[in-house]
A and B are shown apart, each in its own frame.
Chain A
């Protein structure tokens, strides 16, 4: 669902219009195509709430198990106005962004090296595969023992979770530089720096951003689960406390806030994509890609 919503945002202004062939009927179809995700999302939300209320009414569910949607909205109000809410948001945001930043730098550096040095990648492949397969969430208690209940252990968890999708995408990106493009730069006697700046960097960028798109989602998961399992602040910690206090509507409200939190971060990456690679297929609306 978030994918659809992400694509419904207005297109970046940096994109170029198709050369003077747009006819009125096609333009109308584009507008309809852009509106569609918004409409479908609204319908989905309404349907969800109807089913939600229906389940409560039909099965007579206790409000401790499943509160009414309107109670959750009320719970959200209480949550936002409660003491330390914004501190918790800031804590989780800091953990996510710092950890993600570390993952990004290490992923790009590591991916570039492994993408270029084939023997090194071959030598490290078993290790990379193994670390891919390990359920990294299972390591979180270990990190908490090692790095304490504070923010450090969460940052490390976030970095670890976000690192691999970025690393693997960068390796792929570095490997995918078109040989034809290399020929062009070689025939033009381009310098090492020019080849990087004008060709390798732009052709790898979409892969970096694709890795970031996955990485940011993992980063939020890492931060929340880290706080959940061992912490004294942050949105994940709020889940634990509301669960312990049997405040179902607060619990639901935190989940909604976390959804929005993750969604906004994801949107930021998608926005970055539209800004940095407006030329790339992945940033084109589906309705236009078929021209």
Chain B
């Protein structure tokens, strides 16, 4: 179990001119210390995550990968303040996110969330959905609509502000969800397989756009995905989790200059990284199978 946590503080020294985003600030922005999560049900107790230590710098793009059930979504939801960790601490900009069962309001305000399902409210129009977080924060209507307009443009939905969610395609719904997450200028964007339900073509396109949005908003991004190539294509670091219990198996740095185009995926180094990560996943799967026999 070579959890590569030793080099997590090591900065990736590259000239600022090549578009590298890692460590522009230097300090850890999101930190997880000894985070674990245990689910208790009537007849069994499952350790979903254990001993998670991870530090993410400001404006870094981190991808979490691993086979299904490895706890990557749990990890993201803990960072998002949706699941309370059983042990450990999550800090955001130095503030502790979880205080017992309570969540720090300031820390929450720094987070923008996008789920696998767009989770749009069908009773609201696109602009109302986008500006919902502002409504909850009692921003006045004029400012809300202006921000919605701005974001519709950013995510390429101009002209659809008055449409209802049911009139949109899957890709468009996810764009609205991303716009909604961005509405109050969060410094951190947490995405849980946001494009998992989309077809391959739309997915590639959305990935390029996600990269542009991350650049434009200078957000720190944590992306959960089951696609290794997507992770390597988008991320500055790919965190691979192994399952049962979920823990960090390896962290891979990806230093390609930005903005990255799809031809990066044809580079030999890209292929090597993808293959290496895939091998680790396969090993993990085999280990689980062997364990299954023992049990």
| B is a partner of A | yes
Name A residues whose Cβ lies closer than 8 Å to a Cβ of B.
16, 18-20, 178, 180-181, 183-190, 194, 198-199, 202-203, 277, 279-281, 291
CB-CB under 8 A for A187 and B81, given A194-B136, A281-B166? yes
Distance from B175 Cβ to chain A, minimum over Cβ atoms (Å): 13
Distance from A196 Cβ to chain B, minimum over Cβ atoms (Å): 12
Task: Collect the chain A residues with CB atoms within 8 Å of residue B185's CB.
Answer: none
Task: Collect the chain B residues with CB atoms within 8 Å of residue A183's CB.
Answer: 82, 113, 115, 119
- Residue of B whose beta carbon sits closest to that of A279: B123
Task: Collect the chain A residues with CB atoms within 8 Å of residue B115's CB.
Answer: 180, 183-184
Categorize the interface residue count of chain B: 20 to 34
Task: Collect the chain A residues with CB atoms within 8 Å of residue B122's CB.
Answer: 279-280
Task: Collect the chain B residues with CB atoms within 8 Å of residue A178's CB.
Answer: 119
CB-based contact B119/A19 at 8 Å: no
CB-based contact B105/A202 at 8 Å: no
CB-based contact B125/A19 at 8 Å: no
Distance from A209 Cβ to chain B, minimum over Cβ atoms (Å): 13
20 more contacts with CB within 8 A, not counting A189-B105, A189-B136, A281-B166, are A16-B162, A16-B164, A16-B167, A19-B160, A19-B162, A19-B163, A19-B167, A20-B159, A178-B119, A180-B117, A184-B115, A185-B136, A187-B82, A187-B111, A188-B132, A188-B133, A189-B108, A198-B135, A198-B136, A279-B164
Task: Collect the chain B residues with CB atoms within 8 Å of residue A281's CB.
Answer: 166
Task: Collect the chain B residues with CB atoms within 8 Å of residue A188's CB.
Answer: 108, 132-133, 136
CB-based contact B125/A187 at 8 Å: no
Task: Collect the chain A residues with CB atoms within 8 Å of residue B108's CB.
Answer: 187-189
**A16–B125 CA distance with the chains assembled, in angstroms:** 9
Task: Collect the chain B residues with CB atoms within 8 Å of residue A180's CB.
Answer: 115, 117, 119
Distance from B108 Cβ to chain A, minimum over Cβ atoms (Å): 5
Question: Taking the complex as formed, is B103 at the interface, i.e. its CB lies under 8 A from any CB of chain A?
Answer: yes
Question: Taking the complex as formed, is B80 at the interface, i.e. its CB lies under 8 A from any CB of chain A?
Answer: yes
Distance from B137 Cβ to chain A, minimum over Cβ atoms (Å): 8
**A180–B129 CA distance with the chains assembled, in angstroms:** 14
Question: Taking the complex as formed, is B121 at the interface, i.e. its CB lies under 8 A from any CB of chain A?
Answer: yes
Distance from A170 Cβ to chain B, minimum over Cβ atoms (Å): 17
- Residue of B whose beta carbon sits closest to that of A291: B167
Sample of 14 A–B contacts (CB below 8 Å) = A19-B163, A180-B117, A180-B119, A183-B82, A186-B81, A186-B82, A187-B108, A187-B113, A188-B108, A188-B133, A190-B136, A198-B132, A280-B122, A280-B123
- B:212-255 near A, CB below 8 Å: none
**Chain B interface, >50% SS class:** loop
Contact with A along B120-144 (1 / 0, CB 8 A): 0111110000001101100000000
Task: Collect the chain A residues with CB atoms within 8 Å of residue B105's CB.
Answer: 189
- Residue of A whose beta carbon sits closest to that of B134: A188
**A199–B108 CA distance with the chains assembled, in angstroms:** 20
Task: Collect the chain B residues with CB atoms within 8 Å of residue A277's CB.
Answer: 123
Distance from B152 Cβ to chain A, minimum over Cβ atoms (Å): 12
CB-based contact A181/B121 at 8 Å: yes
Most buried by B among A180, A181, A184, A280: A184
Task: Collect the chain A residues with CB atoms within 8 Å of residue B159's CB.
Answer: 19-20
**A280–B121 CA distance with the chains assembled, in angstroms:** 11
Task: Collect the chain A residues with CB atoms within 8 Å of residue B164's CB.
Answer: 16, 279
Shortest beta-carbon contacts, A-B, top 3:
A180-B119, A202-B123, A187-B113
Task: Collect the chain A residues with CB atoms within 8 Å of residue B111's CB.
Answer: 187
- B:73-117 near A, CB below 8 Å: 80-82, 103, 105, 108-109, 111, 113, 115, 117
**A202–B105 CA distance with the chains assembled, in angstroms:** 26
Distance from B232 Cβ to chain A, minimum over Cβ atoms (Å): 28
Distance from B163 Cβ to chain A, minimum over Cβ atoms (Å): 5
Distance from B127 Cβ to chain A, minimum over Cβ atoms (Å): 11
CB-based contact B103/A189 at 8 Å: yes
**A18–B126 CA distance with the chains assembled, in angstroms:** 12
**A194–B121 CA distance with the chains assembled, in angstroms:** 14
Task: Collect the chain A residues with CB atoms within 8 Å of residue B167's CB.
Answer: 16, 18-19, 291
Distance from B158 Cβ to chain A, minimum over Cβ atoms (Å): 10
Distance from A221 Cβ to chain B, minimum over Cβ atoms (Å): 32
Most buried by B among A198, A199, A281: A198
- Of B80, B82, B121, which one neighbours A199 at CB under 8 angstroms? B121
Task: Collect the chain A residues with CB atoms within 8 Å of residue B103's CB.
Answer: 189
Task: Collect the chain A residues with CB atoms within 8 Å of residue B135's CB.
Answer: 198
Distance from B41 Cβ to chain A, minimum over Cβ atoms (Å): 17
Distance from A183 Cβ to chain B, minimum over Cβ atoms (Å): 6
CB-based contact A187/B136 at 8 Å: no
Distance from B186 Cβ to chain A, minimum over Cβ atoms (Å): 10
**A20–B162 CA distance with the chains assembled, in angstroms:** 11
**A281–B122 CA distance with the chains assembled, in angstroms:** 10
Task: Collect the chain A residues with CB atoms within 8 Å of residue B113's CB.
Answer: 183-184, 187
CB-based contact B82/A279 at 8 Å: no
**A187–B80 CA distance with the chains assembled, in angstroms:** 7
**A277–B123 CA distance with the chains assembled, in angstroms:** 7
**A20–B121 CA distance with the chains assembled, in angstroms:** 22
**A16–B161 CA distance with the chains assembled, in angstroms:** 11
